Structures are given as structure tokens and as C-alpha cells.
Structure 1
Amino acid sequence: MRRGRPIFHPRLGWLAGGAKPVLYLVGMVLLATSAMMLIPMFVDLANDSGDWRAFALAVTGGGALGLVLVSAFRGSLAQGLNLRQAFLLTPLSWFSVAALSAVPLYLTPFGATSGDVTNAFFEAISGITTTGSTVISGLEDAPPGLLTWRALLQWMGGIGIIAIAIAVLPALGIGGMQLFRTESSDRSEKVLPKVRQIAAAIGSVYLGITILAAATYWLQGMTLFEAVLHALTTISTGGYSTSDSSFGNWEANGIQWTGTLFMLAGGIPFVLYVRLLAGDRRALFDSQVRSFVLFLAFTIAVTGTALFLSGLYDAEAAYRFAAFNIVSVVTTTGYATTDYTLWSNVAVAMFFGLTFVGGCTGSTAGGIKIFRFEVMYVMLKSHFRQLLYPNSVVAKTYNGRPLTDDVINSVVVFFAIFFAAYSALTIMLMAMGLDFLTSASGAVTALANVGPGMGDTIGPAGNFSTLPDLAKWLLSFGMLLGRLELFTVLILFYPRFWRS
């Protein structure tokens, strides 16, 4: 190569300097992930489990790579990040965390992830995206470090998506998220707003609710270890459990009602908790929260009544099972107390539909999100009024604020891309020989980050271990795609993105 010849093609020239702050931040993320791995390593050491070596190797490798990136690109973040760099950073950092997190799962000599790259990465990406789909069985006999790492992955992913929903996605104007842009979100230059004023408060609330959930689970009858791990995966609406039977392993009614309450808490915007603690008594009367709670209450009431009248359960059990499993699916947690697909064909259809819904924006929940359904409702109502009164001017508002054309267009495009991606993923899974129910439910559970699908294979009583490897890679891509609101991933496949 001639001296002075640029490394990058001239049309890709922005990468030469533009990638430096991105790689610096990826290095910081790897260092933080390596530091978190010390926790399961010490858990294994405390329990005389030799699996601590797997975490020690991952900590060493991940820490070394992180230090190299941070040292090589120190000072490159002085000017902040622009839009293009933010689009590149978001999926790259999440992919990097998943790849590093898969290392101890691969090295630990237990379960389907041991020595299997596909399964290890699938489990890791499912964890960090808080999806909760798993390939591991026999969890009751799993090493404590492995169980701890799975739970920590989901807890980190939960707080990570809250940060992205507040600081990054509104500034990028993705899927109508510009509705939630803070005053410090400046789309013109920098896309990482100064949210330090609320970041510490949200982190404190997140930790506080986690501790409260752990204490409540413990008092209800779980061991301290089980209580802590389930608190981590409940607040993050992740759904990883320490038992193959999920919450069906605990028959105490209080534990299941507790799980329902804290899953609901995870599906509500965390910034509203901060406002509530700051003295805003009406913070939780936000439009999203009202719609979210009313939708859940109606669905639970109808389902619980149907279960009671069918004679399957007494009144308390009917409403408890209905509440727990419906809240679990809508908040995209993925816990289960029973195989609800056995209730009836209507139940299968209902839960399949609930998989798409999701929780509130700014929460740890996945899915399409409640606010987008609200926006679509406003649009439909406006359209019908326009049909009835052609000469009228119909104002479109959401939560007391006007709906601008860019928000409406973003929401419509999001729905279109979501269902296009869902259809494509379903067809590709069917092309691998999977039946329609497995393919269709697997595609939506990945994109909506729910966890269990439908049917005998990947339903609440099964797992994803028997799927073909290519199907697992496709679903892994779907999990990342759904967790990062589609566009932050898909734009990387747009050729113009890479041109200066």
C-alpha cells in the first residue's frame, strides 16, 4: 500500500475519525460489563464452584479489550457525538455486550450454552435485550454464578434501555419518540443530551424498587438468592428465572401477586417515579399510564371471569393466574405460572395478540408501546371526524400536546416496518421447517422482547434449544432489532449511511 494512502475509501472517510469516539464508548461499555462479571465470579467462589474460572477468563479478556479501546481513543469524545455516530454506537455497544456476555456462558460446563457459540450468544442477547427466551433447561441444578449472570444481564439491559429511551431515541426522532424529547435533547448537533440531573435519580429509583422487590419476595417465602435474582429480572421485565417452571415453582399466592405488582411497576416510565418523588402527585396520571392500566384491568377482568366460569379455577386463582400471565406478556417479562395455551383456543389467540402490545415508553418493557397505539387512535378518530365533517379543522393532540406531522409519520412508518420485519422473520423461520405457530409466535416474541412463544416447542412450558442454529441467529437479530426500536439497526444496512 502506498505511503499516505487513506485506510478508508474516500466516500467512507467519516469513519476514519468518526469511529473513534464510538470505539472509545464501546471500550467503556466493555469495561463496565467486565466489572459486572466479577459479581457472578465471586458468587461461584463463595459456593465452591469451579465455574468461577469461566468468568475470570471473560473478565480478563473483556477488560483488556476495553482498556485497549479506551487508551487508544482517549480524548476523542471531547466534541460529543453527532447523529451518525449515535446510530452506529447504539447497536454496536449492545452487540459488544452480548458477545462478551456469551463468553462465560460458553465456557461454563453446564447446559446447552456450554461449548456452543450459537446457544451462548442466543442466551446472552436474550438476556441483555430483556427478552427472556432461553435454551437452558435444568435451571434448578445450574451453577449459582451462571444464574446470577443471567439475572444481572437482564437488570443491566433494563436500565440501559431506559437510558436510551430518554437520552438517544427522542433526539433521533425514531418511531414517534420525539414526543418525549427533553429540553436538552438537541437534534441538530449532539444527540446525547445532558441528562445527568435525572440519570442519578432514575438509577436510584431503579435500584430502590429492585431492593423492595427482593425483600418482598424473600418475606413471601423465596430464599434470599432466589428473591434477589427474581427481583433483578422482574423490574427489568426480563423474565429469566431460577426454575424451569418459572413462577409455577412457587405455589404461594403472595409471591405471584407480588410478581404481578412489580412487573407492572417495570412497565411504567421510570421518569414518572422521579417526578412523583419530587412532589408531583399527578405524575402517574400520565396518558400512557392511564391507557396501560385500563387496558390491563379490562383484559384481566374478562379473562379471570372466563376462567372462573369455565370451572378451571376458584375465583381467587382465576384472577391471580389471569393477572400474572397477562401482565407478564403485556410488559414483555415472560414469566409464567402455568401453560396458559392449554386454557382454550381463544386464550392462545388472545395471548398471541397481547404479545404485540408492550408497556410504556421510558419503562423497561418492550413491544410496540402503548403510546403508539394512542397516537394511532387519535389519527383514526381524527380521520373519521374529517369524513363526517369535511370542512372542519380537527386538532390532533396527545397528552395535552399537539401531534405534529413528523411524529405521526414516524409512528405510521414504525408500524409498517415492524409488521414488515415480523412478516419477513416469520416466513424465514417457516422456510427452515418450523410450523406456523412456532414461526409466527417466535418472530413476534423476539421483536417484542417477550420471551416465550406459543406451541409445544417454544411455549411457556418449552424453550428454544431444539430450534435450528440459523433460526436462533435470526431470532437473536430480531431481539436486537426490536429492543433498539428497529431503525437504529436497520439504518446500518442503508448504503448512504456509510458515505460521507
Structure 2
Amino acid sequence: MLNFRPIFLVMGVLIAALGLFMLIPMTADLLSPDPVHRADWSAFAIGAVVSIMIGGGAAAASWGDIDTIGLREGFLLTTATWVALVAFSAVPFALGGLELGYVDAFFEAMSGLTTTGATVVNGLDDAPPGALLWRSMLQWLGGVGIIIMAFAVTPALKIGGMQLFKTEAWDTSEKFIANATNYSISLSMIYIFFTALCFLMFWAFGMSPFDAINHALTTISTGGFSTRDSSLGAFLTQGRAPLDLVVTVFMLIGSLPFGIFLAALLRGAWKRLFTDSQIQFFIVMVAILTMTAMLVVMNAFEDMDLFTAFRLSVFNVTSIVTGTGYATTDYGVWGPFSIAFFFCIMFIGGCAGSTSCGMKVFRLQVAFAALVVYAKRLAHPSGVFVARYNQRPLTDDVFVSVLSFFFVYFATFATLALILAGLGLDTLTAISSAGTSVANVGPGLGEIVGPSGNFATLPDAAKLAMSVGMLLGRLEFFTVLVLIAPSFWRG
């Protein structure tokens, strides 16, 4: 039988903590020189009070030591907590100066916490500072949550091949809880360090302190929310330092496995930053895709110089592959090939254990290894071949998990695309909106939801469907889908 007490306890503590975080954007509004923006503080005050009272009440009613968290409780806790945090995060958006209905507010909060970056907000240039900061904070909190989940939850739940990253020390529930706590604290410290470094670099390269902190929060989390309607392109005026290249570096950092950074700092294993096969594959892949994009953009604009083509290509390729979703230009005008190119690469994602989204690089490596072994067995039926990942043999359960993940991934994408098309969206908008939802990328393709548009004009039903897609993609599908199986509730 499910033990709901630890579920309500953890959810209550996190919701109450979310309410405390709301005091930060509330303060930003109170300090605003614009009296209209100052009035927005009450939305965060109400949201904070509601979150602290309900979350604190749930935690107090469920208080006590947590000795073990079973497998079923782990699945339910992960999904229920994510949905609850989104629901409470949306309250300030619904009550504040952005003037969003609750469906729009829920969509914006879901996009934030899942680090998707799709937005329904128009007029960001004139939005209250508290609302802008809250959007950025949600992505930052979602990013660190995903890192912790990748090392402390999904390996134990064996979702989509993530058992490759499970350490032997976590075989029992007691050790799992202790190690997960220590791991979470250490990973959070590294995450905070990179965020602070990112902020200082953005400030040094010409952003105001407010813009720098917002973009630092959404860059290291590979989220992509901006303080401007024209995204990062608003900061790339003629003659200024190449800020886009600095952003590219930090998007790449956010897409690398934070466990490697932890191993480098605690055990001095710096070589793993260069020898880990997942990192090597990812960097080589980004380089190849960048060169491809350079050929596309130079073919579209024959008078463009090589350095400008490189800047446009490496930034936009990195932004889409990592799922950040920043834009410096509308790559849809680069020609028909560019539309198909960027649509395909949005599904790739970064490394496991990073803030990035998508299918993850290691799954592509596992699938390729399985393909190679299968081809060898066809050619040499009597031979014995073992697929490996990072010099370790891959077991059959890893292959099954990864291949099942691919099937569910694209089945969900196709289903969501059909639902959106049935709600009246044109083909390109429906397909790209479905893709950007399950891949947690942000901008879609076309005039409506492309890099120069947003999702405000979509019907509410489409926004809710996309919110479900974002949640499924961010929580690796099986974490959510297992809850609809009758056998899960029967135990």
C-alpha cells in the first residue's frame, strides 16, 4: 500500500519553500522606481502567503522521520511535486501586472519550471521587474531540480536507461536517502557557482545588472526566458562585444553532466571532462551541426562574412540542441532546409545529468552501440559481441529501457501533434509546438510560434495540452505514465 505521509511531507516543504522564494520578486517590485510596477508586489505577497500556509500545513500534518521511500512513492512524489509547484508558481502570474488568465499563467509556470522557455507574455520590455525575475527564478529552480533528479531519482527508478548512472552505494533505501541529500547539496553549490560566474561575465560584457542576473539564471538552466521580446538579439547591437559567444559557452556548460564537475572537484578527476565519451560525443556533434548551419546561412546570405556566419550558427545551434531556446535571429528565413534542420536537432538534447532536455546524448550512443552489435551478429552469427558505454558493458535491461524511451518519446510527440492539429493549428505550428513541448526547447517554427513569435494566440486547450507535453518530456515520460497503470495503484 502506498505510504502518502512522506509524499505530503516533501511536497509541503517544497511548496512552502517556493512561497519564501516569492519574497524575492516581491522585493524587486517594491524597489522599482515605476509606481505601476511597485503595485505588482501584492501578487507575490498573496502567492507567498498561500504557498507558505498550504505547504507548511501539509508538512506539519505529515511531520516525522522518513526512513524509506519505496519505488512507487518515488514515482508519485516526483510527478505530484512537479505539478503542485507549477500550480502554486502560477498564482503571481495570474494576479499580477502581466494580466494572464490562470491557463496562461499555468502554461508560463510550467514552461519555466520545466526549463522549456515557451512564453505567452507580450511586452516583456515593459513588464514589472518582479514578474521577469520570477520567470527567470522558476527556470533556475527547475534546472537545479532536474540535475538533482538525474542523479538522485531517475537512476534508482531505472527510467530510460538512467540506471547507467546509478552508484552501488544507493542500493538500499537508507543509503539512497543519505547519499541523495549529500549529492544534492554538492551539486547545488556547483550550480550556484556557475550561475554567479555567468552573471559576472554577462555584466562585464555589457548587460545591466538586472538583465545579467535574469539571463544568468536562464542560461545556466538552459531555460531561455529573456527580459526582452526580441530575446538575446536585443543585446547584440553593432559594435558591442560578442555577448552571444559568451552565452554559448555557458549554454554548453549547462548541458554537460554536473556529476563530472563534482567528481573533478571532490576527487580531482579533471581528466573525465575530456575523456568521458558522452561529453566527447556531444562536443563533436555540436561542432558538426555548427559547420552544417554555417553552410546553410552563407548560402542564404552570400555577402555574409565568415565570422558572422559562425556566430549566428554556433549560437543558434547550441541554443536549440541544448533546449535553451534563445534567439538572435529568425533562422526560419535561412531557407527551407533550415526549418527541417532546426526541427530535427531540437530533439537531441545535452548530456545526462545536465540541465538540458531532449533525448540526451547517451541514449543516442546506446542506440548506436546496439545497432553496431546487431550488425556484427548478423555478419558473424557465431561471434560474441558486447556493447559498451564508457568502457562498461551494456546489459539488456539498458537496451530495453533506452529503446522503450525512444518509442514513447516519438509516440507522445506524434499524439500531441495530432491533438494540436485537431484544435485548429496549422500543420507547421502543430508539429513544431508538439516538438518544442516534449523536447522542452521553447520556440517553435513558423510565423506564429517561431523565434519571432510566441504562444499567446493559441487556444487554451492547446496550451494545456502543451503543458502536459512539457511535463512528460521533462520528467522522462515513464515517471508520469506509470501513474496511469492500474497495477501501480494495486501495488
TM over 0.5: yes
SS of aligned partner of 2:264:
helix
**Superimposed CA distance per residue, residues 293-313 of structure 1 (whole angstroms, 9 cap, x where no aligned partner):** 000001112222442354152
Note the aligned Cα RMSD (angstroms): 1.4
Amino acid at match of 1:260: T
- Is it true that 1:303 corresponds to 2:263 in the alignment? no
Quote the residue 1:442 is aligned against. 433
Q: What residue number does 1:373 align with?
A: 364
Q: How does 1:219-230 map to 2 (within 5 A)?
A: 219-230=204-215
Say which of 398, 403, 420 aligns to 2:411.
420
Deviations 1:412-454 (A, max 9, x none): 1000111111111111111111111111111111111000011
Q: Aligned runs of 1:283-298 on 2, under 5 Å?
A: 283-284=272-273, 285-298=275-288
SS state at 2:22 partner: helix
Is 1:351 aligned to residue 351 of structure 2?
Answer: no
Query: Is structure 2 residue 25 aligned with structure 1 residue 40?
Result: yes
1:149 aligned partner: 134
After superposition, residues 331-346 of structure 1 pair within 5 angstroms as 331-346=322-337
Secondary structure class of the residue paired with 1:352: helix
Are 2:16 and 2:56, in contact at CA under 8 Å, matched by a contact in 1?
Answer: yes
Which residue is equivalent to 1:490? 481
Q: CA deviation at 1:188?
A: 7.4
1:165 to 139, 144, 150: 150
Q: Are 1:260 and 2:248 matched, yes or no?
A: yes
The C-alpha deviation readout for 1:256-281, integer Å capped at 9, x for no partner, is 11111100000001111122223212
Shift of 1:117: 1.0
Aligned residue pair count: 481
Match of 2:87 among 89, 99, 108: 99
Q: Quick check: 2:69–2:173 contact (8 Å CA) kept in 1?
A: no
Superposition misfits of 4+ residues, deviation over 4 angstroms: 187-193
- 1:320 aligned onto 2:311: yes
Distance 1:187 1:448 in 2: 33
TM-score of the two chains, using structure 2 as the length reference: 0.96
* TM-score, normalising length: structure 1: 0.94
1:60 match: 49
Percent identity between the two aligned chains: 45
Could you say what secondary structure the match of 1:333 adopts? Answer: coil
1:288 counterpart SS class: helix
Q: Give the equivalent residue in structure 2 for 1:409.
A: 400
CA drift at 1:317 = 0.9
Structure 2 CA distance for aligned equivalents of residues 331 and 230 of structure 1: 15
**Pairing partner for 2:384 from 380, 393, 405:** 393
Amino acid at match of 2:390: N
Partners of 2:324 and 2:441 within 8 A in 1? yes
Q: CA deviation at 1:170?
A: 0.3
Per the alignment, residue 7 of structure 1 pairs with none
Gaps in structure 2 of 5+ consecutive residues: none
Aligned to 1:242, which of 194, 209, 227?
A: 227
Q: Distance in 2 between matches of 1:317 and 1:276?
A: 35
1:260·1:328 contact (CA, 8 Å) conserved in 2? yes
- Give the unaligned 5+ runs of structure 1: 1-13
